[in-house]
Amino acid sequence: MTRRVCVVTGSRAEYGLLRPLIQEIQASRELALQLVVTGMHLSHEFGHTVDAIRQDCLEITDTVEMLLSSDTPVAIASSVGVGLIGFAGTLQRLAPDILVVLGDRFEILPPVIAALVAKIPVAHVAGGELSEGAFDDSIRHSVTKMSHLHFAATEAYRARVIQMGEDPSRVFNVGGLAADAIRRVPLLDREALESALGLTFGQRNLLVTFHPVTLDANSSTQFAELLRALEELDETRLVFTLPNADPGGRELIEMVNAFVARHPTAKAFGSLGQQKYLSCLQFVDGVVGNSSSGLGEVPTFRKGTINIGDRQQGRERADSVIDCAPDHRSISAAIRRLYSTDFQAGLPSVRNPYGDGGASERIVSILSAFPLGSILKKKFHDLAA
């Protein structure tokens, strides 16, 4: 009997990682895929990336509206409430054998809470990680405690999930999904990418992605410091990807648009989509901002990452990551280091701590075989016992 596996995606941030896993579930004879799309995917303001999912030839089982037209704390909290109402009905209709979610964003809270109440087991991908500068950190750990199977990206993250009281027999180090996505996506050559983006790469090129720092009140101040540093790069082509739908995100989008309007060498995109984003990593000199992609995906391309501030504080990182304070002087110094001869000489030997691929296959193997009969009942695993 095939197991019904319901995968929920709420934003471009995790869909790119989930995509190879979704495809692997879809190809499995033991599993039946149910794909539910919500959050930013359904918003035209954030690229209406549900279209990209359909272009991947994936059949969407259901959609759940939840994202409101504002990014204030009240709107985000209300979105969670709206989503919870929607997912209560969706999960009742679909009756999955297990729900699969990835990560730490607020869009995954509603389906997990609804599944908990409906007695549907939850499999959580990418638990045990840290991002101490964002409230995503607390969401991730909350989802861990409501989940029944855990697929961690490194051994250190697996150990942290167990430290939180989860049964070691249910916690698996499968590696990161980013390498799977990179391995499976056919990348565009430079000419095709430039045509798709409507730009020409220069002698120097940087990809910039900066998201709100949700536990700080000064995201716009930090971003202004980044833009001040970028102002000094007259001959550098800057490719911006716009922030996520977090509190303060729309203010940052306005700042990006104003910067791009003043600088002909800069261009902004609501969403590049996975193929164009990964293709872009081939031709830029590095990534600047505070996105988890700078730690998870960029090292595989052996390119440098300038990681600003503490949004990603606590995550494992490769030697290609340059951490810096969120002020223009520190950011400018980090950019100089990125282009330094010594730093560039070390990039060919960089190894991604999240592995070289195969996470999707490992997860599907476990989802297919793990006994679900009594999985809902959890005992706290006490390290001191």
256-280 average pLDDT score: 93
Residue 257's nearest CA partner among 246, 244, 278, 242 is 242
At 56, is the pLDDT very low, low, confident or very high (cuts 50, 70, 90)?
Answer: confident
352-358 average pLDDT score: 91
169-182 average pLDDT score: 94
27-40 average pLDDT score: 94
The tens digit of pLDDT for each residue in 107-146 reads: 999 999 999 999 999 999 999 998 877 788 899 999 999 9
Q: What is the pLDDT of residue 245?
A: 76
Q: What is the pLDDT of residue 356?
A: 86
pLDDT(385) > 90: no
Q: What is the pLDDT of residue 51?
A: 86
Q: Which residue has the tokens 């209406």?
A: 48
Fold classification of 3-175+358-369 is: Rossmann fold (3.40.50)
More confident residue, 133 or 253: 253
3-class secondary-structure state, position 92: helix
76-95 average pLDDT score: 95
pLDDT(196) > 90: yes
71-91 average pLDDT score: 92
Determine contact, residues 237/265, Cβ cutoff 8 Å: yes
pLDDT(305) > 90: yes
40-52 average pLDDT score: 80
The tens digit of pLDDT for each residue in 201-240 reads: 999 999 999 998 877 768 899 999 999 999 999 889 999 9
Determine contact, residues 270/242, Cβ cutoff 8 Å: yes
Q: What is the pLDDT of residue 153?
A: 95
Report d(CA 350, CA 318) in Å as an integer. Answer: 7
pLDDT(329) > 90: yes
Q: Does this chain's domain 3-175+358-369 share its CATH topology with 188-349?
A: yes
- Partnered with residue 323 across adjacent β-strands are 307
Tokens of 56: 């991947």
CATH node for 188-349: 3.40.50.2000
13-37 average pLDDT score: 94
More confident residue, 333 or 11: 333
Break the chain into its structural domains and give their ranges.
3-175+358-369, 188-349
